[in-house]
Amino acid sequence: MLSLVNGPQTNGNGRGFWLAFLAVLTMALIYPVFADSYDVGNFSYFLIWIFMALGLSLIWGYGGMLTFGQTFFFGIAGYGYGVLAIIMGGGTATIAALILSVFVAAFAAAVLGYFMIWGRISGMFFGIVTLAATLSLAFFLGQTAGPEWHIGGARLNGFNGMKGMDPLTVGEVYIEGTILYYVLIALILVTYLGLRMLVNSRIGNVIVAIREDPQRAEMLGYDVRKYQLLTFCIGSGLAGLSGALYTSWGQFITPSSIGLPAAAMPIIWVAFSGRSDLTATLVGSFLLLFGFQTITIYSQQAALVLMGALLLATVMMMPQGFIVGIAQAVGRRWQQLSGRKRSGNGSLQSGES
């Protein structure tokens, strides 16, 4: 178990990393004790998007498939949760609505991924097809304002967005506020550790080998298409989880959360952080979400321009990602200091003798 959590496909495998990890987790757990409910709700909003970023890191960073389709599956699961929650009613049925909506998103990924991967679509064309699917869904949902656009008692409402669904509920307890915050922390912890185990397993090693050289992996006897489809479905399912949780959190969803600006955001988060490392994606995405939300309060246009500038800076200056680059620089500096300290101690002992 520990050998899968710590492995060659993930940075941060030493004792110091896990001590820092536990320290950050402890601070996250005690945060609601000192914060007001508004700030806890904002942090829950940031945490909801982390699943989408981790999914993209798996698909793009480890699988080598650049996709603009994360918000496509986000939207499918988000609207799916809204429809199912309204049709099935409130209460514990909302949990079933969440699970079913994520499965619907994963199934949609299996269908779309099958035609792309078995059709040998790769490289920039993979991104173009997923972007076309995303924009098509956003355009379609924007045209559903009339009363005829409904599924059961759930109206889609066009650009005004769907609303009226209940939040996640267990019995008589609504999962919102501080309760939702702790649920999200638990889900992120399980997802993060689960993905670390996946990418460090035999399956993960094959996925990375396919990213590096798919022809060589195929010559070694691996069915490249099956591994790529599995990667795409898992990553897209995580985007669907973000969509369902987002709809539950705000009790609404609009086509604007699926369109072009929204579709570009996960690419920026993951590229800036370091697409080939889950920890960097987790940390960097949260920091960018926090910064973007802070700047948006004053100017949404300025926030979008800044995100574009960050993507340009990442591509030109640090293509491996700023968070990964900073972590590597700190690690090298720490090794240098540790080496000097050991060397100094050795000289001192030699002089004493």
Give percent of the chain with pLDDT exceeding 90. Answer: 66
Over residues 137-162, mean pLDDT: 91
pLDDT at 334 over 80: no
Is residue 283 assigned to a domain? no
286 pLDDT band (50/70/90 cuts)?
very high
The predicted structure's pLDDT at residue 353 = 44
130 pLDDT band (50/70/90 cuts)?
very high
Query: What's the total number of domains in the chain?
Result: 1
DSSP calls for 240-308: HHHHHHHHHHHSEE-GGGTSHHHHHHHHHHHHHH-TT-HHHHHHHHHHHHHHHHHHHTT-HHHHHHHHH
Task: Give the range of the structural domain holding residue 107, as residue numbers without chain letter.
Answer: 2-256
Q: Would you put residue 259 in left (φ > 0), alpha (ψ -120 to 50) or beta?
A: beta
Q: H or E element: which one contains 320? A: none
Lowest mean pLDDT among 118-122, 135-139, 233-237: 118-122
Is residue 245 assigned to a domain? yes
80 three-state secondary structure: helix
Is residue 117 assigned to a domain? yes
How far apart (Å, rounded) are the C-alpha atoms in residues 94 and 262?
26
CA dihedral 197, 72, 176, 86 (to 10 degrees): -130
The predicted structure's pLDDT at residue 38 = 86
The predicted structure's pLDDT at residue 329 = 77
The predicted structure's pLDDT at residue 37 = 87
Q: Integer distance in angstroms from the first to the last C-alpha of the chain?
A: 46
How far apart (Å, rounded) are the C-alpha atoms in residues 263 and 69?
7
Tell me the sheet residues that pair with 169. 174
Is residue 130 assigned to a domain? yes
Is residue 336 assigned to a domain? no
Return the number of other C-beta atoms located less than 10 Å from residue 353's C-beta. Answer: 5
1 pLDDT band (50/70/90 cuts)?
low
Sign of CA dihedral 303, 309, 313, 316: positive
Is residue 306 assigned to a domain? no
Identity of the amino acid at 267: I
Q: How many residues does the chain have?
A: 353
Is residue 316 assigned to a domain? no
DSSP 167: P
The predicted structure's pLDDT at residue 311 = 84
60 pLDDT band (50/70/90 cuts)?
very high
Q: What is the pLDDT of residues 6-51, one digit of tens each?
A: 888 888 888 888 999 999 999 999 999 998 888 898 899 999 999 9
- 269 and 71 Cβ atoms separated by less than 8 Å: no
Over residues 257-263, mean pLDDT: 90
Is residue 168 assigned to a domain? yes
